[in-house]
Structure 1
Amino acid sequence: MKNLKVFLLLPILGLSIGSCQNHVKSKRENEAHKKVVYQVFTRLFGNRNTTNKPWGTKEENGVGKFNDFTDKALEEIKDLGVTHIWYTGVPHHALVGDYTKYGISMDDPDVVKGRAGSPYAVKDYYNVDPDMAVDPSQRMSEFESLIARTHKHDMKVIIDIVPNHVARSYQSVDFPDRNFGATDDTTVVFDVNNNFYYIPNSHFEVPTPLNGYKPLGGENAPLLDGKFEEHPAKWTGNGSRSAKPHFYDWYETVKVNYGIDPEGKKHFPLLPAGADTLDYRQHFEFWKDKTVPSSWVKFRDIALFWIDKGVDGFRYDMAEMVPVEFWSYMNASIKMKNPDAFIMAEVYQPKLYRDYILKGKMDYLYDKVALYDTLKHIMQGTSSAHNIAAVMEETEDIETHMLHFLENHDEQRIASPEFAGDAKKGIPAMIVSATLGTSPTMIYFGQEVGEPANENAGFGTHSRTSIFDYVGVPNHQRWMNDGKFDGGKLTPEEKSLRAFYKKLLNFTIHSSALMGHYEDLTRFNDALGAKYSKQLFAHTRWSDKEQLLILSNFSDQALQKVKIHIPLSIISDWGVKTGNLKMVDQLGHQMEVKLYVDKLDAYVVADVPAWDGLILSLVK
């Protein structure tokens, strides 16, 4: 450990500590702006019904439609600072409802979670959820119109692909020749060209319910008898090899076979040495003359089908459960069709990040295990804000690929008691999430108005907005205001929160500094013996055109006259000589902050409001 005297000399020498010795400069500094992804649970967005009966039908609780994304709605989303919309739950998934007159088979409630069904138990990848169409016979054309409207408002369209598993009842209406498992040899556990893994000479058994669970809340319904015909039984989506999976297994799905046998041996070509240094064109060339498993080809064709429809990118569910070689094959094919395709994925094992980015050609991975979890602990008061710097260092070489978020459909709402209990506590975390790196920022619909997810929708528990049942989203509905999309029913607090998100996100997509250098200032000030809260995080971002000092206060107490020192090496990069310069907050706080610079030191003194933050921009 260096002694304090050395640290005290650092400002004089124009040096800083830790990562300051090597400023992080994005390879994409010259790009116009950061990207902002707005995740919306599509069937909930336009639902105006406020009944919210547990296990309610779509007639009782309502359901949103593709057509609810009107020009006005899309204009307001765009004005929030959004560049990409992730329409979650679009591919046709298993659900409890009768669409047989449209040629769609009935789904068995014994293997459907909730009434509306899990969007990650896809039943037909070549069509869309009939619930969301005004006319189910025209459901694809209604979604195509939504794609066109989204593009008209200068936003890109992302949808889900779930390669690891499909619904137990998978059956494509329009492309039966592309059905998974149609030509499988079901007498064996594994064959490289089987789409599924089998348990020969066995019948699937519905799991034994736990904790008093009853499908549909105990209601009688067609096909609901505690049985589901599947012979021979298939492995379950999460990898269970039992003909009777556990209740907490992903029993509504079956695992897709990518050519890895039960012992873990790979029955497909491996990537060559140095594949992590090759671009997607070189990966595409590698696979051109290779024979690959049937499932690889089927999922590639699914992705290209949607690219041809005008979809601009994909979010991959549980990507780490599928071999990285497949992703090289899949993503290279997509990029050859659309080089600008936006590809993001769930990978929760940090040791796999670089393989899935560099070899699998993912554009972005969820930054959950590092940044999200750290921010959550800070917001809950169980961790210091000073830990953020270490998180950034862990992914410094791949930070441009690590997508930042505070909410999504899998995570608890910030305002729920189980998370922070107050949406305002998300403000400093959102400032950090949106400004820490060059990677995209993602928010979940309703987050910007403090949705707490208090409803008991049926399957699962509250604190997360239900993805399994028909439900209204109250705070979001107040913003929607009966289809006016003008926030007319929001409370003053909700309006204020949305105004914050709008200012922040719009700032980020136009800031050149956020595509440039990054430096943590917290440990530098610690080394100087600065006396301020462990719940304050300070960092700086800059480019040739813009210089920022960003302060985030994770405390319920306003911080008065906080003195933040900035290394003279950074001041030099900013092109600043000695003197007193003005800094202006970009989040609308009416305060004047001075940057004081002399030959020995540079610092600002600022007041930082409770559960809030400042983005101070240098005025030259």
Structure 2
Amino acid sequence: MSTKTEPVAAKPAAERPATEHKVVVYQVFTRLFGNTNNTNQPWGTLAQNGVGKFADFTPQALDAIKALGVSHIWYTGVPHHALVNDYSAYGISNDDPDVIKGRAGSPYAVKDYYNVNPDLATDPANRLAEFEQLIARTHQHGMKVLIDIVPNHVARSYQSLSNPEGTEDFGANDDTTVEYARDNNFYYVPGQAFNVPAFQDSYQVLGGEAHPLADGKFAEYPAKWTGNGSRAAQPAFDDWYETVKINYGVKPDGSYDFDSLPADYAAKDWQAHFQFWQGKTVPDSWRKFRDITQYWLAKGVDGFRYDMAEMVPVEFWSYLNSHIKQTNPQAFLLAEVYQPHLYRDYIKLGKMDYLYDKVEFYDSLKLVMQGKGPTSALIETQQRMADIEHHMLHFLENHDEQRIAAPEFAGDARKGLPAMVVSATISTSPTMLYFGQHVGEPGTADAGFGKASRTTIFDYWGVPQHQKWMNGGKFDGGALNADDKALHAYYQRLLSFTAKAPALMGQYAELHSANLAANSGYSEQQLAFARWSDEQKLVVVSHFNADAAVSFNLTLPADLMNRWQLSDGQYSLTDALNNNQYSLAVSNGTGSIALELAPLASVILEL
């Protein structure tokens, strides 16, 4: 959804980051993390396939995560979402599998924002306290806690059992006789009942298993708009039919029923944004999500990952995020935005700390890993994003993307190594690591609703490579083979280094163009750049060819040598990844490093 404001023009110089060191986020799919069951029956029940618990994040587990250089853990799938399991003994209504994706359910169809997924608790009656204990354990291990907020939509079966006094459910006071009213939480199709979509021939609810509620019906009158914006009383199968769209005061014709932010607020801080909204009347849904985020901040949550943030108007984000920062100025706010022309609006006007760098950097890097694209695209992207580079979180895997080791992606986890070096060191932005990535999880199985190449987020499942790293709760990788142990050790060395390297929060200069022009054996299969601060000087070089070694003399231009104040002579370099020694020769003001890189090798050379 576009906003009324024009995108903020790019600035020639990058903003200085507020953090002293690189942030490393570990995304973990909470339901899968601690599951040691390896039955993996497609469409299997919780009893058949098992499920991970909050309690599985033991001190040993948290120590092992922390050892990867991690500063923040994003516990994915914590809020109570719709799922096919009977918790009626705890006062929880049963969910209808006709409007659930998978058996374990989508974490992005939230049923109760004031409680947590009962699957994750050892004692479902005590589920909220168990999550509070996990927050405390995470903090005790020196890491911060992030959870999901899904502002664009909720489950069709939304019903909170844990509302604090004075708060009401979404839709509780809606006028359902009209399509739209500003303070309605949902949009309606007046006079029409909701109909379950016509499922594709290959799809059967619960894989065809009989279930008393799986009857092709779901009672909803009048029908609500579906989460992705479908206005049909019977959405299509490829719509987000298990969810309903939240109304933020955007009329059906796209016009706004709230105050717009003046364009100059792009240059103002969150305090000014907070003041802007004081005394203004805002749509009811805005206040509900303000209250939800304040509830979790009070429980010790340190920040949020916002699902599909671009589908919600930027003014709401200014309102919500400035209220969050008023409570916790250090809160970590990460948003999923896929339209590059909106990036600067959601950072500057929406006051997001970070956005996914998916469409720009990740998509280009994926092509490089697959041997389908040039490394020059990465340099071009970094230059084009220079004014907001600190705000663009880098990753190689997450719950939406294919696993690197999947045949559909690269087919070999090692092909992620040079990419991870580049992703983690080229920018001052946070780095995100998805659980299982560091041990080569390939995600090769169809789990039921979830299909091969992505680890399922819809099913009860065990994650084989991750389970080997867990090694029955020891978290020592004891069940991994030698190659996978080496992969994990590489990730640990790399990310631990990046988390402490001051140069990675400093200056950047690309070395790619000069070395391509030098025609010295350096090619579009390599990428080289320099990073430096007053305390540290680094040269990073990665080689993306999986089949052949490469040798060349890397040129360091005279301008860089001048900025580093290096006169003619020989200087020692140490590779932070492998502890090997190299030499930098400066002659007539220009630097040169003789390099020989094995297939998929990288060096981070420290002066």
* 1:6 corresponding residue in structure 2: none
- In the TM superposition, residue 23 of structure 1 has moved relative to its aligned partner by 9.8
Q: Say which of 347, 353, 360 aligns to 1:357.
A: 347
Is residue 2:56 matched to residue 1:68?
yes
Q: Secondary structure at the match of 2:473?
A: coil
Aligned 1:45-194 pairs, distance under 5 A: 45-175=33-163, 177-194=167-184
Same amino acid, percent of matched pairs:
59
- In the TM superposition, residue 419 of structure 1 has moved relative to its aligned partner by 0.3
Q: Say which of 430, 435, 440 aligns to 1:445.
A: 435
- In the TM superposition, residue 602 of structure 1 has moved relative to its aligned partner by 1.2
- In the TM superposition, residue 25 of structure 1 has moved relative to its aligned partner by 6.0
* 1:33 corresponding residue in structure 2: 21
Q: Secondary structure at the match of 1:383?
A: coil
Q: Contact 1:24–1:517 (CA<8 Å) still a contact in 2?
A: no
Aligned 1:332-411 pairs, distance under 5 A: 332-411=322-401
Q: Say which of 548, 563, 569 aligns to 1:573.
A: 563
- In the TM superposition, residue 333 of structure 1 has moved relative to its aligned partner by 0.2
Is residue 2:334 matched to residue 1:324?
no
Q: Contact 1:23–1:519 (CA<8 Å) still a contact in 2?
A: no
Q: Contact 2:561–2:589 (CA<8 Å) still a contact in 1?
A: no
What runs of 5+ residues in structure 1 fail to find an aligned partner?
A: 1-21
Q: Secondary structure at the match of 2:394?
A: strand
* 2:258 corresponding residue in structure 1: 268
- In the TM superposition, residue 308 of structure 1 has moved relative to its aligned partner by 0.2
Amino acid at match of 1:374: S
* 1:469 corresponding residue in structure 2: 459
Q: Say which of 243, 249, 258 aligns to 2:233.
A: 243
- In the TM superposition, residue 429 of structure 1 has moved relative to its aligned partner by 0.4
- Give distance in 2, aligned partners of 1:557 and 1:582: 29
* 1:605 corresponding residue in structure 2: 594
* 1:595 corresponding residue in structure 2: 584
Q: 1:23 to 1:275 in 2, by over 3 A?
A: closer
Q: Contact 1:450–1:497 (CA<8 Å) still a contact in 2?
A: yes
Q: 1:26 to 1:358 in 2, by over 3 A?
A: closer
Q: Secondary structure at the match of 2:207?
A: helix
Deviation track 1:503-525 (CA, whole Å, cap 9, x = no partner) reads 00010011111001111111122
- In the TM superposition, residue 217 of structure 1 has moved relative to its aligned partner by 0.3
- Give distance in 2, aligned partners of 1:211 and 1:70: 44
- Give distance in 2, aligned partners of 1:521 and 1:390: 12
- Give distance in 1, aligned partners of 2:168 and 2:499: 41
Q: Contact 1:25–1:518 (CA<8 Å) still a contact in 2?
A: no
Amino acid at match of 1:193: D
Q: Secondary structure at the match of 2:551?
A: strand
Q: Secondary structure at the match of 2:221?
A: coil
Q: 1:532 to 1:69 in 2, by over 3 A?
A: same
Equivalent pairs, count = 595
Q: 1:297 to 1:25 in 2, by over 3 A?
A: closer
- In the TM superposition, residue 600 of structure 1 has moved relative to its aligned partner by 4.4
| Deviates most, 110-119 or 456-465 | 456-465
- In the TM superposition, residue 557 of structure 1 has moved relative to its aligned partner by 3.7
Deviation track 1:344-386 (CA, whole Å, cap 9, x = no partner) reads 0000000000000000000000000011000100111111112
Deviation track 1:256-289 (CA, whole Å, cap 9, x = no partner) reads 0000011001000111230101100110000011
Amino acid at match of 1:46: G
Deviation track 1:202-235 (CA, whole Å, cap 9, x = no partner) reads 0100001114200100001121100000000000
Deviation track 1:390-420 (CA, whole Å, cap 9, x = no partner) reads 0101211000000000000000000000000
- In the TM superposition, residue 32 of structure 1 has moved relative to its aligned partner by 2.7
Q: Say which of 579, 583, 603 aligns to 1:614.
A: 603
Q: 1:124 to 1:84 in 2, by over 3 A?
A: same
Deviation track 1:27-73 (CA, whole Å, cap 9, x = no partner) reads 138x4310000000001000000000000001000000000000110
- Give distance in 2, aligned partners of 1:518 and 1:53: 49
Q: Secondary structure at the match of 1:123?
A: strand
Is residue 2:497 matched to residue 1:501?
no
Is residue 2:460 matched to residue 1:460?
no
- Give distance in 1, aligned partners of 2:215 and 2:201: 19
Is residue 2:204 matched to residue 1:217?
no
TM-score, with normalisation over the residues of structure 2?
0.96
Q: Secondary structure at the match of 1:510?
A: coil
Deviation track 1:537-595 (CA, whole Å, cap 9, x = no partner) reads 111101111111111111024444311111112112212111011111011153x3110
Q: Contact 1:451–1:475 (CA<8 Å) still a contact in 2?
A: yes
What runs of 5+ residues in structure 2 fail to find an aligned partner?
A: 1-10
> C-alpha root-mean-square deviation of aligned residues, in Å?
1.3
Q: Contact 1:512–1:545 (CA<8 Å) still a contact in 2?
A: yes
- In the TM superposition, residue 26 of structure 1 has moved relative to its aligned partner by 5.4
* 1:10 corresponding residue in structure 2: none
Q: Contact 1:365–1:402 (CA<8 Å) still a contact in 2?
A: yes
Q: 1:612 to 1:178 in 2, by over 3 A?
A: farther
- Give distance in 1, aligned partners of 2:450 and 2:201: 11
Q: Contact 1:26–1:438 (CA<8 Å) still a contact in 2?
A: no
Q: Contact 1:39–1:87 (CA<8 Å) still a contact in 2?
A: yes
Q: Secondary structure at the match of 2:499?
A: helix
Amino acid at match of 2:311: M
